[in-house]
């Protein structure tokens, strides 16, 4: 027998039947039309009222009914990235002083991400970057930073089992590139202005310890979320990472330690993971307080009262591929001095 008959039930549509079969609507219609007379064929995007059954390949049907769609065991899915993908990375930041925004910026870039599951490595290439909104006061500094960032336009990273950054594999090539940029594009600025000399020296130290720098970079922490320890579903807030360290946005060269918690759930054919973070329990912000007293205490009437909040949501498809994540971060010294960042990362469709 070359086909079996599927009796149309109330509420059935071409889309619902095709989805149950794991085929496209076109494939469903083409097979049906090849097995029935002209008066019973389908030539529209809906099932004509006079058609009471659709012809199906016999292996897709048992006892006159479609076999059930194979259910995905989400608890066994490994979260991560597809082999080749492009992500749009949007970052919006605001700095508030005396309760008012004094600097607002937004940048957007495209990352080509090539993940190798066998070696658990990933290559990232920045394909394009544009400034959506830039505060005029920091524009000269930003132009210098953009020259510096050319150093890391291509990264080859070794990941830990939980998908966080472990090491930079092409560090030798990056350091050579950095030396060329310093000499060809930044040397005159370094000679003219001691301020830029200090900046270049700081990046010298960062590139010398690039693996550690990326591990503490909040953007790379967000993108390379510690996925390996996530259980699906997990309805209660559960500790995912303890005492993670990142750079302070208010006090350069200082660090913040935070604890990261998560919850997860399955919604239709996608996985949603919500994360929250707060200052680590055993961490003290004394060094940040010292920076505040030295640089801001005479200008701001409020006392130092530090807090750090991170809230994020990650969406993965039924294959475990990251499709979107959005994170909000607030770092505050008190109600008069704080920083807000929004990080939005979206998988671009092919």
- pLDDT at residue 245 greater than cutoff 70: yes
- pLDDT at residue 68 greater than cutoff 60: no
- pLDDT at residue 87 greater than cutoff 80: yes
Name the 3-class secondary structure at 28. helix
pLDDT of residue 253: 85
What mean pLDDT is predicted for residues 186-195? 88
Strands (E) across the chain are located at 4-7, 53-56, 61-62, 65-66, 84-97, 100-116, 121-133, 154-159, 165-168, 234-247, 255-267, 270-279, 307-317, 322-334, 337-347
Q: What is the pTM of this model?
A: 0.77
What mean pLDDT is predicted for residues 324-333? 97
pLDDT of residue 59: 61
- pLDDT at residue 75 greater than cutoff 80: no
pLDDT (tens digit, 9 = 90+) per residue, 142-182? 788 889 999 999 999 999 999 999 999 999 999 999 999 99
Q: Are 177 and 185 in contact (CB under 8 A)?
A: no
| Residue 31 neighbours by CB distance under 10 Å | 19
- pLDDT at residue 116 greater than cutoff 90: yes
The CA distance from 112 to 81, in Å, is 12
Among residues 23, 33, 25, the alpha carbon closest in space to that of 3 is found at: 33
Percentage of residues of the chain with pLDDT beyond 70: 94
- For residue 54 the two structure tokens come to 């659709």
pLDDT category, 141, cuts 50, 70, 90? confident
Residue 201, judged by CB atoms within 10 A of its CB (0-12, 13-18, 19+), counts as exposed
pLDDT of residue 332: 97
pLDDT of residue 207: 92
The gap between the terminal CA atoms of the chain, to the nearest Å, is 39
pLDDT of residue 120: 94
Q: Is pLDDT larger for residue 158 or for residue 42? A: 158
- pLDDT at residue 65 greater than cutoff 60: no
Q: Is pLDDT larger for residue 13 or for residue 11? A: 13
- pLDDT at residue 271 greater than cutoff 60: yes
- pLDDT at residue 186 greater than cutoff 70: yes
The CA distance from 293 to 313, in Å, is 35
pLDDT of residue 252: 85
pLDDT of residue 72: 59
pLDDT of residue 308: 97
pLDDT of residue 39: 80
Q: Is the dihedral of CA 137, 143, 148, 152 positive or negative?
A: positive
Task: Please report the domains of the chain, with CATH numbers, ordered by start residue.
Answer: 4-70 (no CATH), 75-347 (2.30.230)
């Amino acid at each position: 027998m070359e086909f079996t008959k599927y009796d149309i039930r109330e509420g059935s549509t071409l889309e619902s039947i095709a989805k149950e079969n794991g085929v496209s609507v076109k494939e469903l219609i083409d097979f049906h039309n090849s097995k029935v007379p002209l008066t019973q064929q389908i030539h529209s995007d809906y099932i004509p009222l006079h058609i009471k059954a659709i012809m199906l390949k016999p292996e897709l049907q048992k006892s006159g009914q479609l076999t059930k769609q194979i259910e995905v065991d989400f608890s066994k899915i490994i979260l991560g990235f597809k082999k080749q993908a492009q992500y749009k990375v949007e970052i919006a930041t605001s700095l508030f002083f005396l309760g008012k925004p004094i600097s607002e910026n937004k940048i957007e870039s495209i990352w080509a991400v090539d993940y190798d599951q066998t070696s658990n490595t990933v290559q990232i290439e920045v394909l394009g970057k544009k400034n959506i909104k830039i505060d005029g006061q920091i524009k000269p500094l930003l132009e210098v930073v953009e020259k510096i960032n050319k150093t890391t336009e291509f990264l080859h990273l070794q990941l830990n089992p939980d998908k966080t950054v472990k090491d930079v594999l092409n560090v030798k090539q990056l350091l050579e590139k950095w030396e060329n940029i310093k000499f060809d594009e930044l040397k005159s600025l370094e000679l003219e202005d001691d301020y830029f000399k200090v900046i270049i020296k700081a990046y010298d130290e960062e590139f010398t310890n690039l693996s550690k720098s990326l591990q503490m970079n909040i953007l790379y922490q967000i993108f390379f979320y510690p996925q390996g320890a996530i259980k699906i579903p997990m309805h209660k807030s559960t500790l995912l990472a303890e005492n993670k360290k990142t750079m302070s946005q208010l006090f350069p060269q200082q660090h913040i330690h935070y604890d990261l918690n998560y919850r997860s759930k399955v919604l239709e054919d996608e996985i949603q993971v919500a994360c929250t973070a707060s200052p680590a329990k055993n961490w003290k912000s004394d060094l940040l307080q010292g920076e505040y007293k030295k640089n801001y205490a005479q200008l701001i009437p409020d006392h130092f009262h530090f807090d750090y909040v991170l809230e994020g949501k990650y969406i993965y498809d039924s294959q475990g591929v990251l499709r979107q994540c959005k994170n909000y971060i607030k770092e505050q010294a008190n109600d008069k001095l704080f920083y807000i960042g929004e990080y939005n990362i979206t998988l671009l469709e092919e």
